Amino acid sequence: LPTPPPTRLEKPVCTQGYVQCERGMAVVNGTKSDSVTCETACGGNCCINGSTDFPACNGLTGFVCKDDSCDGDNSCHYANVEYIVNSCSGHWACRALGAGGHAGNIVNSCSGYYSCFGAGYVRGNVGNIVDSCSGYWSCRNLGRAGVDVSVAGVGDVLGSCNAQNACEDAFMLTNKTSENMHTCCNESGGCKGDTTLPTECSPPPTPPPTPPPTPLPTPPPTRLEKPVCTQGYVQCERGMAVVNGTKSDSVTCETACGGNCCINGSTDFPACNGLTGFVCKDDSCDGDNSCHYANVEYIVNSCSGHWACRALGAGGHAGNIVNSCSGYYSCFGAGYVRGNVGNIVDSCSGYWSCRNLGRAGVDVSVAGVGDVLGSCNAQNACEDAFMLTNKTSENMHTCCNESGGCKGDTTLPTECSPPPTPPPT
């Protein structure tokens, strides 16, 4: 399970110190100020990057940690929470979270545009949100009720709903559960609109006194081997479809996908512009500039979020991308310009995760890392790791899954090594 959440109303650790807010104004020496806003009291360390029309923390009630929490236009706008730590990053993130209802502690969570927007709103309820709700529109309206409805809600959300649209509109209006969500609904659209708690959200049984060795993620496909894609692939060469072995002069990858991949890009920032590689028709490459000029082998259930996988492997190398790179700017520039990154499997889920991982430069060709397996699944995890003159050929196994984990690292942490092979039975 994720790190156990703090008991509701217990103060989570915030080494930088908190700012207490009441309806957007700072509380100083126990008294609500008439002139000092939360944004001002934060001093550029929280409630940041809002615009004049849509300031951050306008109307916020609760404690916000001075660790860049509440970052973006309208972030934490009229939210009513207990404590916010390393959370609410992205335009409109945590807007009206718990307003008129209830929300607990928000820790390492709600990363991505509109994430946690309206959760627990208007007589709704959501408990602590810990290591959860990372992705565009994730947990939007989770546990939201209405003026005449007060039964909506969900318990604590732990290590869950980390993908685009995951848990959106779940447990709304007359649908409620007091149970907690444990490490579930982490696929794109997972549990969206659900009214009952999926079985996989229940906590696992108490492990035996001597737990077995931690298994590795599903072994990745050997590099250059085609991963399974039941929906079929579209082959792309510099953004154009390859038809019967020949690059088309008129059919783009986006067109060839037929709405099943290379989707939701804007006119100015289309998806898959310049892409070279095979993309599965399973909604891969979803968002503005996603997969822009990427140079990869196969993409399956990956690259979801604006600018996700942009320039991944461009001018360098990247292997197969499977169940990975979910979140704004995730895998942006990994393996770029003579850099290298191997297969990325079940990894790099989170805002800016794996950005510039293994990126080199025009005159540098030693940067890189091996396969990335079940790793770097948190905001900013593995960002700028193994860049420029730093390289390892070793693989990363189930590590760096905390916010900012392995950011800027130049050597592979011990915990990234695979567990020892268990003795024969």
Closest residue by Cα to residue 405 from 387, 383, 373:
383
Long-range CB contact pairs, 198-204, < 8 A, 24+:
201/160, 203/1, 204/1
268 pLDDT exceeds 50?
A: yes
**Per-residue pLDDT averaged across 79-91, rounded?**
94
- Cβ neighbors of 305 (< 8 A, separation 6 or more) are 112, 135, 136, 164, 286, 287, 290, 325, 326, 327, 328, 329, 330, 351
pLDDT value of residue 389: 59
Q: 352-362: per-residue pLDDT in tens?
A: 899 888 777 55
**pLDDT one-digit tens code per residue, 270-313:** 999 999 999 999 999 999 999 999 999 999 999 999 999 998 88
- Spatial neighbors of 55 by CB under 8 A, at least 6 apart, are 39, 47, 74
pLDDT at 212 over 60: no
Mean of the per-residue pLDDT values of the chain: 85
What pLDDT sits at residue 363? 52
Q: Does pLDDT of 159 surpass 80? A: yes
pLDDT on residue 146: 58
- Per-residue pLDDT tens over the stretch 118-130: 888 877 788 899 9
Name the range with the highest mean pLDDT among 6-20, 35-49, 371-385, 396-410: 35-49
pLDDT score of 6? 46
- The residue-averaged pLDDT of 130-157 equals 80
Q: What percentage of residues in the chain have a pLDDT greater than 90?
A: 58
Which pLDDT band, with edges at 50, 70 and 90, does 11 fall under?
Answer: confident
